[in-house]
Structure 1
């Protein structure tokens, strides 16, 4: 009997040394996370991404590496993330342009943001600023409108690309103010601002962060904030409504998204990390100083924002007759 027991024990121990044990599932994250920005370095999306990456890296315990994949009005970066593995290691710093505008402009979008990307959190709402070259003889919005009416087709406005919020903001301004300011698309905000300062174009309506330093230095003149309230960094700059252009409100935002199919526990962990980052007093103060209002929504709230804004921008595109050039 003892021999039989010894033989059975030996067999069991032998099998234990032969059969592999099931590997323990690694806790997320266990390697660096890539945060994709679909625009060139230096713009408001890039600035936010780098601030957020620094805070999230501390919270998650792994590096969060910002990568710029610009082109096609944000479609290249968005498509890259949409096709990435849904494992939480490739994220998108999403903005309104590629997320809610491009589906109405591009008949053959390489991906569908509402289906191929999973909302994590609305990060910030951006103030949009209307600024002109300081040499233009207009001290306020009404004077600029009068100047534009006196020079139909002779003035121009820049944007980081055709179909971007800055482009559509300019077309909406033309429509509501009854002027003809020509659109000049650039490859990124920095290039447009550089030409605006040099006097090659006359106006821009874009997110405040890349414009603010040049307004403060006197190289650009701020005319109005295209929002429902004044911006904290520029309390003396009126809203478009206060400046006499009723209804000129351009809602811009940025959020964090992952490939569709990313496990819910990972979505929740990333959401918690984002909310913690945005609630940090130093982060909040920094963002507000750049003209961005920290939000930190739930994934469901962000999904609703995307749905509503997709309809709003589609109606604007139709009313202004905006088409890809």
Structure 2
């Protein structure tokens, strides 16, 4: 598994770039999204792009290029002129997991892609159907061990962060739970609500919507700290699986080879967007935590997650080619 490289020269270049009045790439800029309109990537991309345009007076167009778990959009960005004019609103699935689950990618995941800035991160939630006789993770583990293979965990599809969250949970807790892949978040949650599957690892907005229906309940979150909006919901780590952590994130990438002063200027403008109170509120309404990280720190995050999920993918033997 190859990772983005951070070398002293890069760190020095970034430090020097901070003091430079680097111009933005000539507009119009493009913000690619690897999924159809309406999803989490698309919502965050449009929030960021709208405010970026207002702040910089530079036209930026959100362009949806769905397919291949964001690999098609990433490939188009990687082929673009390396001047920062084409960006991608990427996520942990498309940028940290895809290189492990696809044997062949239509781009070089290292040389073709440059991390720019983190935008938002979020815990996911462990959701169970109301008919499952458990109220917390410890009871779920006891039930799973007493009924090996009888619990089904739904996910939006093979290789998704939801699927890998379940595989990590199974491995760390040493329980047998059957994975059932679906074609998206909505059908997965619908079958958990209907009792066709007993549990799922869902995004917070999806989990909250399901819980509001009264047919499922949230028993834990996947982060190491409790979520501010759900302070009474414990983490999986504190509930019987020490060390368990899964965090989803969204961030901006651009074409590999883009000059670092340009990358740094883009990162500064994105941070300015993310730190605006109105934008922080918009992101929080999506069940996410606004969080800006510069190119070096964001690269380190992508690398850590790529290494983490590569181990899980290899242990399960997931391949989507």
Q: What interval of TM-score do these two structures reach, taking the shorter chain for normalisation? A: 0.7 to 0.9
Report deviation, 1:104. 2.2
Q: Which residue number corresponds to residue 312 of structure 2?
A: 316
* Structure 1: tracts of 5 or more residues without a match: 1-26
Q: Which residue number corresponds to residue 65 of structure 2?
A: 69
Q: Is 2:112 the counterpart of 1:92?
A: no
Aligned to 2:251, the other structure's residue is in SS state strand
Per-residue CA deviations over 1:127-180 (Å, capped at 9, x if unaligned) read 121112334332222222233334433332222322122111111111222322
Report deviation, 1:64. 3.3
Change (3 A) 1:84 1:159: farther
Instruction: Describe how 1:262-273 pairs up with structure 2 within 5 A.
Output: 262-273=258-269
Q: Which residue number corresponds to residue 252 of structure 2?
A: 256
Q: Which residue number corresponds to residue 112 of structure 1?
A: 108
Give the number of the structure with larger relative contact order, counting CA–CA contacts within 8 Å between residues 6 or more apart. 2
Q: Is 2:209 the counterpart of 1:213?
A: yes
Question: How many residues get paired?
Answer: 298
Per-residue CA deviations over 1:291-311 (Å, capped at 9, x if unaligned) read 322221111111222222222
Change (3 A) 1:223 1:241: same
Aligned to 1:253, the other structure's residue is in SS state strand
- 90-99 or 45-54: bigger deviation: 45-54
Contact 1:29 1:62 in 2 (8 A): no
Bigger radius of gyration among the two = 1
* Structure 2: tracts of 5 or more residues without a match: 1-22
Q: Is 2:223 the counterpart of 1:227?
A: yes
Contact 1:43 1:188 in 2 (8 A): no
Aligned to 1:130, the other structure's residue is in SS state strand
Instruction: Describe how 1:1-325 pairs up with structure 2 within 5 A.
Output: 28=24, 31-318=27-314, 320-324=315-319
Change (3 A) 1:291 1:259: same
- 169-178 or 259-268: bigger deviation: 259-268
Q: Normalized against structure 1, the TM-score is what?
A: 0.82
CA distance in 2: counterparts of 1:63 and 1:215, whole angstroms:
40
Q: Normalized against structure 2, the TM-score is what?
A: 0.83
Report deviation, 1:316. 2.7
CA distance in 1: counterparts of 2:206 and 2:41, whole angstroms:
10
